[in-house]
């Protein structure tokens, strides 16, 4: 999966020498041409042996200097098209590359758990994960039911004092104390705590 944004690499083609013959003598001079894949090019001539390679023959000939295009990888591309005359493929439809190595369609749910949902946004690209934020349970005997994310209170709201569970609508006598639940506002939400006072005993006068 690629785009048309490319980087440049340098490739050197071996020097070509031409043997020139004169009457009664033979001499070797530097080539004024370049040869690439059995094709001869003149000095200062530019040429493209393929859509991804750009070459130029130096002014004195010899080694052709070539730059090869390196197509940028498009990790979120779902479908791309290739053109024989174009170096890099063109992405036609984008999706989302997830951590499992798969590319998903936009709008599709990639993964889901009790507390987390990951999906591919309409714009494609990276997947987006939403995590459920649970409020503090207002009971001490809360449970998390199968398939649920946040804890619930099956026995209603309550608090606790010395191991005794106190429902919010009741007052219990515990160790000569009269106890009940009171609400306490916290930054994370409202919580319940046990408030207990000593019981007063009056002896009747005779």
Question: Hey, what are 121's tokens?
Answer: 């946004």
pLDDT band at 164 (very low <50, low <70, confident <90, very high): very high
Alpha-carbon span 173 to 7, nearest angstrom: 80
Q: Which class for 94: exposed (0-12), middle (13-18), buried (19 or more C-beta within 10 A)?
A: buried
57-85 confidence digits (pLDDT tens)? 998 888 889 999 999 888 999 999 988 88
Report the chain's mean pLDDT, rounded to a whole number: 82
Distance set, CA 65 to CA 39, 132, 138, 190 (Å) = 15, 59, 76, 74
Write down the pTM of the prediction: 0.51
For residue 73, the model assigns a pLDDT of 85
24-50 average pLDDT score: 78
Three-state DSSP class for residue 109: strand
Alpha-carbon span 169 to 157, nearest angstrom: 9
């Amino acid at each position: 999966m690629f785009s048309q944004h490319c980087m440049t690499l340098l490739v050197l083609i071996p020097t070509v020498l031409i043997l020139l013959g004169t009457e009664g003598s033979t001499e070797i001079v530097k080539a004024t041409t370049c040869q690439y894949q059995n094709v001869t090019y003149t000095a200062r001539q530019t040429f493209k042996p393929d859509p991804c390679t750009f070459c130029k023959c130096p002014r004195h000939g010899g080694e052709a200097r070539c730059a090869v295009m390196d197509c940028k990888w498009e990790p979120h591309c779902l479908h791309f098209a290739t053109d024989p005359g174009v170096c890099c493929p063109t992405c036609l439809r984008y999706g989302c590359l997830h951590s499992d190595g798969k590319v998903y369609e936009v709008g599709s749910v990639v993964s889901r758990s009790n507390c987390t949902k990951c999906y591919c946004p309409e714009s494609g690209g990276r997947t987006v994960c939403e995590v459920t934020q649970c409020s503090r349970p207002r009971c001490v005997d809360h449970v998390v039911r199968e398939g649920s994310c946040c804890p619930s209170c099956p026995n209603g709201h309550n608090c606790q004092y010395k191991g005794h569970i106190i429902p919010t609508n009741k007052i219990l006598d515990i160790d000569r104390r009269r106890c009940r639940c009171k609400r306490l506002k916290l930054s994370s939400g409202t919580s319940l705590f046990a408030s207990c006072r000593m019981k007063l005993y009056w002896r009747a006068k005779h």
